[in-house]
Amino acid sequence: MNVLISGGCKNGKSTFARNIALRLAGDGKRYYVATMIPCDDEDRARIARHVADRAGLGFETLELGRKVERCLELADPGATFLVDSVTALLLNEMYPGGHGAGVDPDAVDRCAAGLLKVAAGAGNAVFVSDYIYSDAVRYDSFTEKYRADLAFVDKALANVCDVVIEVCAGNVLVHKGEWEP
């Protein structure tokens, strides 16, 4: 089963996704695919919280800030994979030389293709993304492109996922498929 979870930043998506991954994995193998490449103390603190939150739950962590499909080569592909997050992965793919480098114009296609490979090859996959593309505010051209690219990647994932869920202010909205908490 493939599940996409989206919603606002810091809305409980990761905790919700972790619980879904645990349920899907049962007694089976589970992997946490960590995509964030930390840039500052806030990123490092967020990573530390996520590590603490999943301590003792049997997740093996695979740190893959780019080329997420490698998780299928590094782990048992029949297992359950929790990919957190699509948002960070896309940003990393956009800047393969780091945040001071130029934007890679092929990043969105590469990111979507890698995630679709995970969806097709994993026993179960749970993807976490941020719903940042419906805001009415207009941003600079880079941010608008990033938002459009993330919407493209999320739409590609939504098309192949069995379940699509939005987490908003603690509310769970199922947009596709069926899921009972």
Average pLDDT of the residues in 84-95? 93
* Beta-carbon-side half-sphere exposure of residue 67 (alpha carbons within 13 Å): 5
125 bridge partner residues = 2, 81
pLDDT in tens, 96-120: 876 666 788 899 999 999 999 999 9
What's the mean pLDDT when you consider all of the chain? 91
Q: Which residues does 103 contact at the CB level (< 8 Å), separation at least 6?
A: 94, 95, 142
Name the percent of the chain lying above pLDDT 90: 67
Checking if the pLDDT of 22 tops 90, the result is: yes
Query: Could you tell me if residue 147 is inside a domain?
Result: yes
Query: Could you tell me if residue 181 is inside a domain?
Result: no
Checking if the pLDDT of 141 tops 90, the result is: no
What band does 28 get if pLDDT is binned at 50, 70 and 90? very high
Name the percent of the chain lying above pLDDT 70: 98
Cα 143 off chain centre by: 19
Number of H-type helices and E-type strands within the chain? 6, 7
3-class DSSP state of 2: strand
Range of the domain at 140: 2-176
The pairing of beta strand 80-84 with beta strand 59-63? unpaired
Q: Residue 109, class by beta-carbon neighbours within 10 Å (0-12 exposed, 13-18 middle, 19+ buried)?
A: middle
| Lowest pLDDT segment from 23-27, 70-74, 176-180 | 176-180
pLDDT in tens, 38-88: 878 988 888 898 888 888 999 999 999 999 999 999 999 999 999 999 999
Average pLDDT of the residues in 172-179? 94
Give the per-residue SS3 of 91-112.
Answer: HHHHCCCCCCCCCCCCHHHHHH
Query: Could you tell me if residue 37 is inside a domain?
Result: yes
Say what the pLDDT of residue 139 is.
Answer: 85
If one counts the domains in the chain, the total is 1
Strand ranges of the sheet holding 80-84, from the earlier edge strand across to the other edge: 59-63, 30-34, 80-84, 124-128, 2-7, 163-168, 171-176
The enclosing domain of 16 has a CATH number of 3.40.50.300
Query: Could you tell me if residue 61 is inside a domain?
Result: yes
Query: Could you tell me if residue 153 is inside a domain?
Result: yes
Average pLDDT of the residues in 12-34? 95
Say what the pLDDT of residue 53 is.
Answer: 84
Q: Which residues does 46 contact at the CB level (< 8 Å), separation at least 6?
A: 36
